[in-house]
Chains A and B, each alone.
Chain A
Amino acid sequence: MAKITLDKIAHSYLPYPKTDADFALKEIDHVWEDGGAYALLGPSGCGKTTLLNIISGLLVPSLGNLLFDKQDVTHLAPEQRNIAEVFQFPVVYDTMTVAENLAFPLVNRRIPRDEITKRVSAALDMLDLTDKANRKAQGLTADEKQKISLGRGLVRYDVNAILFDEPLTVIDPHMKWQLRTELKALHRRFGHTMIYVTHDQTEALTFADKVVVMYEGEVVQIGTPEELFDDPAHTFVGYFIGSPGMNVLPCDVAGDKLTLGGREITLGRRYPKMSGKTEVGVRPEFVRLAPAGQGAAGGLPITVTAVEDIGRFKIVRAQLQGHSFDAVLPEGSEVPAEASAVVDPARLKIYHDSHLVRGTA
């Protein structure tokens, strides 16, 4: 178990990167705590796998250094880094039994036999595989195979980190919850540093203490699930986290006045003068509907296009000046035929060139 330091790491697949766009992974400078559960979240091609491969040792970053505790491991091969990895598709040694699979990394490291037996039976117990110990790994289901992959990391007590590369891709939906819960429980019990790559926000938010959201090669926000929801640092985080995602609309901001949809709203904070793209974001969960013309300052004039009733709540799809604008209403609330949207100014987030601007009180 180790603290992982990403010291100004950046990577380009081109031999001589010149501009920012040449980098598949733009500079990241961060320290990941020992024993933390981190999720790298982002769409395909955002650089999350590149970052994982840099940590696992399959890639050497173009720039920067990687440290496990105080040791510089930037140029070490995967086998020298003392890490474990669970891959997207289950990797098991087909001809070995479950117990032999778990013993394999220990046998290779010449651990004494009775110690191996002890650790393997402990791992079998942890993973609830004891009754399958003597079966060939080949005939097991995908989720059991993934558990074996994880088990090969768990038997090594001294691993610096356990890496997961979209490990639930091939698992049946009803098993995903269970595996994730087991994983979370194992993390709480043993405190391994875990890094989990996924493009599924539910997986990331339920697994991780800290979610690292990546977009186009850049880490746009690192935060707890709550921070990502309440305070998205980038419009992409707003879109990507939450279902439906954040409403983001172009607007004008001058001082503490926001002009949107022909209405002027007074914000609680003052903002500097901004040139370029200025947008306002608000989570659909914080939008309320009132009959047209009512509410503070008359509300925002919206046109409701559809209402999706999904049981516990209603999703109202609407248009505001040609941009889509959603609202999530509690169960049983009425949707007025001619509606206007009412929002709490404290919940409005201002973005300049997609990045959050906090303003001053």
Chain B
Amino acid sequence: MDKTPNNKAWFMVLPVVVLVAITAIIPLMTVVNYSVQDTFGQNQFFWAGTVWFEEVLASERFHDALLRNLAFSGIILAIEIPLGIAVALAMPRKGLWVPVCLILMALPLLIPWNVVGTIWQVFGRADIGLLGYFLASIGVDYNYAQNAFDAWATVIVMDVWHWTSLVVLLCYAGLVSIPEAYYQAARIDGASRWKVFRYIQLPKMNRVLLIAVLLRFMDSFMIYTEPFVVTGGGPGNSTTFLSIDLVKLAIGQFDLGPAAAMSLIYFLIILLLSWVFYTVMTNYGADKNPAGGGQ
């Protein structure tokens, strides 16, 4: 049968193209537009080329915020992923306690970011907060507004409290999807508890863990609301992460050009690191010797 060459099918994707253009492409292009121009208000723009990019990449302020962000995301992943796996493993697989555990786990996820920030801001105060008062009464000098370490500890504990549940729920979904026969086979093969985890549970959780790592990385790398509410980026600049710095630059100082350039660099860093995580985790455990070969 002859086929008539016909490109009308392209019209089928038109609605999606229009939608994505409005939600993503046009706003993104506006940012690109600002990043290569300079303005003195009154809607007058001048071509600036790559000046803003060079300025941002060379600025110490950007380097510091980037390092802080990398450290924060690293710590968050190092705590939340193992903790999430451990909690998921400890949760019951059947019975009355399953819904109870699931609801308890889901609760923190339902609370808005700024509310979480406010809760912890009050919770940590030495005068009226439960935690702050308790720590002060046992002689711990804890003050997140003045001590950089305390501020970091507060933001990290807050994020662990807020988001470990997400990792738990994802891992739990991976765990319950493992057929009972795997555990029976492992018992018959004489596998230890550790080997069951290493060779059955962990490989079966691989895909959900990839999602968990990507989500937690992207979210923690873009963290804004909680440190903004609790510490306001301080003391000093100790909790000023990239997003907080960006807002200061864009809205506080109204430096649209540098802010736009920084946004794009910020976006590219997240994209690059997510790609690295994705590639590493999908290649892990892949068949390295597909042609086979004898022993």
Interface residues of B (CB under 8 A from A): 179, 181-182, 184-185, 187-192, 195, 199-200, 203-204, 285-290, 292-295
Question: Does A94 have its Cβ within 8 Å of any Cβ on chain B?
Answer: yes
Residues of chain A lying within 8 A (CB to CB) of residue B195: 108
Contacts A89-B179, A149-B185; A108 near B190 (Cβ below 8 A): yes
CB neighbors of B among A69-111 (8 A): 77-79, 83-85, 87-89, 91, 93-97, 99, 104-105, 108-109
Residues of chain B lying within 8 A (CB to CB) of residue A95: 199, 203, 285
Q: Is A135 within 8 A of B289, CB to CB?
A: yes
Q: How far is the CB of B287 from chain A (nearest CB, A)?
A: 4
6 contacts between A and B (CB under 8 A): A95-B285, A99-B295, A104-B189, A108-B191, A130-B295, A135-B289
Partner among A85, A94, A97, A117 whose Cβ is within 8 Å of the Cβ of B184: A85
Contacts A85-B185, A91-B185; A135 near B292 (Cβ below 8 A): yes
Within the assembled complex, what's the spacing in Å between the Cα atoms of A138 and B287?
Answer: 8
Question: Does A139 have its Cβ within 8 Å of any Cβ on chain B?
Answer: yes
Q: Is A134 within 8 A of B191, CB to CB?
A: no
Q: Is A134 within 8 A of B188, CB to CB?
A: no
Residue of B nearest to A86 (CB): B185
CB-CB nearest 9 A-B residue pairs: A108-B190, A87-B181, A105-B189, A91-B185, A136-B287, A93-B199, A95-B285, A95-B203, A79-B187
Question: Does A349 have its Cβ within 8 Å of any Cβ on chain B?
Answer: no
Q: Is B294 within 8 A of A58, CB to CB?
A: no
Q: How large is the interface on A (under 10, 10 to 19, 20 to 34, 35 or more residues)?
A: 35 or more
Q: How far is the CB of B264 from chain A (nearest CB, A)?
A: 39
Contacts A91-B182, A138-B287; A77 near B187 (Cβ below 8 A): yes
Q: Is B187 within 8 A of A94, CB to CB?
A: no
Within the assembled complex, what's the spacing in Å between the Cα atoms of A266 and B231?
Answer: 103
Within the assembled complex, what's the spacing in Å between the Cα atoms of A104 and B188?
Answer: 11
Question: Does A131 have its Cβ within 8 Å of any Cβ on chain B?
Answer: yes
Identify the interface centre among A78, A83, A96: most chain B CB within 10 Å of its CB: A78
Residue of B nearest to A99 (CB): B295
Within the assembled complex, what's the spacing in Å between the Cα atoms of A50 and B137?
Answer: 62
Residue of A nearest to B287 (CB): A136
13 other A-B residue contacts (CB within 8 Å) besides A58-B184, A93-B203, A136-B288:
A56-B184, A78-B187, A78-B188, A87-B184, A95-B285, A96-B199, A104-B191, A105-B190, A108-B195, A124-B295, A130-B294, A130-B295, A131-B292
